[in-house]
Structure 1
């Protein structure tokens, strides 16, 4: 029995190897996202690596990540700027509205927050599927909107995973200390693995497929 513990296909070794891969993926994503403007290429590459891990076709996390981040770098940088601008506008709007008083301000705050969530849902498939896409940036956005309308709960789940660390830091006392560390060490990789897992299952994607291959 002891010899089976050292077998490469032992369930324990497989699970621990997968955790190690996702930890390396989290660190790679964090390091490449430090300039902020590169968060688009880093996220797209991390999602592509997560998908290859799911498909068991990766050739090493760091090697695959570096190859993926160079692919469609310009388009993903454009997505970075788009998301940063939208996030900044939304954050400023919510901050300004929150400083107002009265029932009208509360209603406007709720409507604005809801609109931001819907926009985030519509764009939630852009970066996860950008790694293998051959579409232009505008066609990529249109595809994301179409997929979000097909699977709104899946799109909402993607947004919830993105918002989870921010929500924890906002609502849980002391979370601002440990959440960033946890996400940099493991959480980011796990989140992207989950996004790609249920995206592939929802659209029945096989290795090397894209939603366009299924006319999704």
Structure 2
């Protein structure tokens, strides 16, 4: 029994190894996102590495991350700008509506939140699938919209995972003290892994046919 503990395929070692991979992925995403304009490239790389972890084809988190980060860097930065414009407009609209009074303000607020979530869902698959894609930026956006309409629950899950730390800090007292640290240490990696696991299962993506969605 004691000999089994030291086996590489021991369930405990496998689980701890996976947690270690996700922790390294969290740190890599955080560090490479510091310049802000690289968030798109960093997110695309993190999703690609998470997909390799799901497929069990990863050969080192940091090496794979750096390789994926450099791939289509310009296109990924363009997506960063796109997300910044969309989310910036949404945040400004919500801020402006929150300063209004009356029942109509509540209705407009709800409509704006709903529209914001729908747009986010339509863009949910842009970065997760961009790592292996050969499509143009416009084609990737169109592809993401089609996939979101096919699997709206998966798209909603991806949006919810991205919004979770922000929601926790906004709604849970004292969360602003521990959420950032937890997400940097492990949360981002887990979120990317869950998102890619759901995406791979929903669209039956496999290592052998990973270009099927391109």
Task: Name the CA distance, whole Å, in 2 between partners of 1:128 and 1:65.
Answer: 13
C-alpha contact 1:132 1:208 (8 A) present in aligned 2: no
Instruction: Quote the offset at 1:214 in angstroms.
Output: 6.2
**1:1-216 map, 5 Å:** 1-210=1-210, 213=212
Task: Give the Cα separation in 2 of the matches to 1:142 and 1:207.
Answer: 23
What is the TM-score when the length of structure 1 is the normalising length?
0.97
When the two structures are superposed, what TM-score results if normalisation uses the length of structure 2? 0.98
Contact 1:98-1:105 within 8 A present in 2 as well:
yes
State the 1:209 CA deviation. 3.1
Deviations 1:154-194 (A, max 9, x none): 11111111111111001000001100111111000000000
- Where does structure 2 lack aligned partners over 5 or more consecutive residues? none
Whole-angstrom distance in 2 between the partners of 1:128 and 1:42? 11
- In the TM superposition, structure 1's runs of 4+ consecutive aligned residues that sit over 6 Å from their partners are none
User: RMSD of aligned C-alpha atoms?
Assistant: 1.1
SS in 2 for 1:80: helix
Shift of 1:54: 1.1
Residues 35-81 of structure 1: per-residue CA shift (max 9 Å, x gap)? 11111000000000001011111110000000000001110000001
What are structure 1's unaligned runs of at least 5 residues? none
Shift of 1:15: 0.2
**How many Å separate the matches in 1 of 2:75 and 2:208?**
20
Q: How many residues align?
A: 214
Report if aligned partners of 1:40, 1:79 keep a CA contact under 8 Å in 2.
Answer: yes
